[in-house]
């Protein structure tokens, strides 16, 4: 019988975004009888707190995550690499799971600790590979896993930067017992909005970043309002990573919402909402107007809870949402198409019910955290 493995997760982020939700779902689904889990973060925050709740041992090692311009030969010499290597030796770590911004430290530490394999979970499509980084990405990382085929294609490039076998696709999943219909009733959100159950509600859940398309959502609201003026709208999310450009974007979006009479009356920005299930349960439709999504955890969470999704058809959602069955996919940057699909769902309760049921079945079949954890476990065992 295989002995119990010690796995180390490393994250430069301490807030909770989609990527961190993927990590937490994986941590929660890995078999505690087979794995002991550890997490390295640079400081306290929502991610380490949530990891502890899942039985993960957290180690705080202050460091600054790398930017896309990092020079591997320089950054791998930073003291944090030696500190992580010492921790790996003390804990007898068998494999490391790293985010992008910790990669040079994780790779150097794995080498210093005696050849511990490093798995990079590629969650983003936007990172460039500079000429001085090519050898690092080709040879330094033991295994790259991409959360969708869209991310894998971006990283392979044309012509391919990496050998295709260097990147495997493991699509994350959700806990269908936690994200289930009627898990919560959504009343706290509707009370916050001051509306009863009879008022249609369309919601968006996203952090403040230009790519998330809050401006597209606001334009869609005006179009829907012209046909169904009774509909209310809500947005949950915050600038979870504290980036100045994201804060500027947030301020512009909120200013536009205050200055427009329709948005001021019909749209509420909820800020960070601790439990996304409340927002999903309160909503008749979830809209995801992102200009691009590597995956889109909200899509999976909404379908698991039986709420239809209307999403831009760009990136990961094309691999998770079944257009016309579990929700709708529309062309990017097209608020008119978003509005048309939202109106179709709001005006047809039976259509919403069919999509709700189909979405739940779809997630159970293909996108559970347990299934993702089993694929990840097999990958780890193959490496070892």
Half-sphere exposure of 132 (CA within 13 A, CB side): 8
As a whole number, mean pLDDT of residues 175-198 equals 95
Whether domain 187-366 has CATH 3.30.930.10 = no
Q: Please give the model's pTM, rounded to 2 decimal places.
A: 0.90
- Residue 33, pLDDT score: 95
SS3 for 98? strand
- The Cα 327–Cα 37 span in angstroms is 36
As a whole number, mean pLDDT of residues 232-254 equals 90
Residue from 225, 307, 303, 237 nearest 264 by CA = 225
Contact 212, 243 (CB under 8 A): no
Q: What is the mean pLDDT of the chain?
A: 94
| CATH pick for 5-173+368-383 out of 3.40.605.10, 3.40.50.2000, 3.30.530.20, 3.30.9.10 | 3.40.50.2000
Domain boundaries along the sequence of the chain: 5-173+368-383, 187-366
pLDDT, one tens digit per residue, over 97-124 is: 999 999 999 999 999 999 999 999 998 7
Are 5-173+368-383 and 187-366 the same fold in CATH?
A: yes
Token pair of 346 as six digits: 């709001």
pLDDT, one tens digit per residue, over 62-82 is: 999 999 999 999 999 999 999
- The Cα 13–Cα 243 span in angstroms is 12
**Containing H/E element for 58?**
strand 57-60
360 C-beta neighbours (distance < 10 Å), count: 20
Highest mean pLDDT among 129-133, 292-296, 355-359: 355-359
Q: Is the pLDDT of residue 368 over 50?
A: yes
Contact 279, 236 (CB under 8 A): yes
- Residue 1, pLDDT score: 45
Q: How do strand 95-98 and strand 57-60 relate by DSSP bridges?
A: unpaired
């Amino acid at each position: 019988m295989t002995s119990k493995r010690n796995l180390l997760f490393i994250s430069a982020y301490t807030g909770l975004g989609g990527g961190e939700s993927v990590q937490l779902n994986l941590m929660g689904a890995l078999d505690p009888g087979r794995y002991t889990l550890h997490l390295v973060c640079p400081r306290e925050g929502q991610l380490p707190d949530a990891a502890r709740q899942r039985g993960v041992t957290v180690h705080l090692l202050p460091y600054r995550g790398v930017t896309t311009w990092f020079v591997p030969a320089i950054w791998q010499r930073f003291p944090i690499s030696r500190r992580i290597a010492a921790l790996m030796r003390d804990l007898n770590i068998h494999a490391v799971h790293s985010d992008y911004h910790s990669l040079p430290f994780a790779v150097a530490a794995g080498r210093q600790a005696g050849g511990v394999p490093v798995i990079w979970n590629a969650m983003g499509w936007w990172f460039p590979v500079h000429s001085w980084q090519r050898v690092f990405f080709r040879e330094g990382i033991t295994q790259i896993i991409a959360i969708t085929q869209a991310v894998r294609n971006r990283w392979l490039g044309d012509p391919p930067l990496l050998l295709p076998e260097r990147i495997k696709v493991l699509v994350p999943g959700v806990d269908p017992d936690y994200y289930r219909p009627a898990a919560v009733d959504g009343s706290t959100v509707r009370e916050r909005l001051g509306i009863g159950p009879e008022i249609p509600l369309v919601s968006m859940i996203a952090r403040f970043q230009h790519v998330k398309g809050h401006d597209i959502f606001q334009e869609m609201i005006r179009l829907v309002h012209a046909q169904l003026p009774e509909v209310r709208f809500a947005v949950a999310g915050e600038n979870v990573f504290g980036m100045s450009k994201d804060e500027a974007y947030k301020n512009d979006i909120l200013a536009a919402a205050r200055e427009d009479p329709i948005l001021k009356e019909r749209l509420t920005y909820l800020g960070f909402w601790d439990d996304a299930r409340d927002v999903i349960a309160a909503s008749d439709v979830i809209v995801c107007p992102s200009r691009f999504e590597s995956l889109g955890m909200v899509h999976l969470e909404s379908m698991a809870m039986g709420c239809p999704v209307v999403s831009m058809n760009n990136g990961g959602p094309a691999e998770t949402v079944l257009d016309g069955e579990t929700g709708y996919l529309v062309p990017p940057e097209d608020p008119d198409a978003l509005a048309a699909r939202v109106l179709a769902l709001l005006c047809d309760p039976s259509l919403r019910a069919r999509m709700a049921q189909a979405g739940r079945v779809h997630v159970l079949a293909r996108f559970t955290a347990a299934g993702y954890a089993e694929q990840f476990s097999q990958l780890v065992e193959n490496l070892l």
